[in-house]
Amino acid sequence: DTEVTQTPKHLVMGMTNKKSLKCEQHMGHRAMYWYKQKAKKPPELMFVYSYEKLSINESVPSRFSPECPNSSLLNLHLHALQPEDSALYLCASSQAGANEKLFFGSGTQLSVL
Partner 1 sequence: GESVGLHLPTLSVQEGDNSIINCAYSNSASDYFIWYKQESGKGPQFIIDIRSNMDKRQGQRVTVLLNKTVKHLSLQIAATQPGDSAVYFCAENTTSGTYKYIFGTGTRLKVLA
Positions touching partner 1 (CB under 8 A) are 4, 31, 33, 40-45, 48, 50, 55-56, 90, 92, 94, 98-99, 101-107
- Residue among 44 and 52 whose Cβ is closer to partner 1: 44
Q: Which residues contact 84 (CB under 8 A, 6 or more apart)?
A: 112
Nearest to 96 by CA among 30, 22, 43: 30
- How many angstroms separate the CA atoms of 4 and 97, rounded? 19
Shortest spacing between CB 34 and partner 1, in angstroms: 12
Shortest spacing between CB 86 and partner 1, in angstroms: 16
Shortest spacing between CB 21 and partner 1, in angstroms: 13
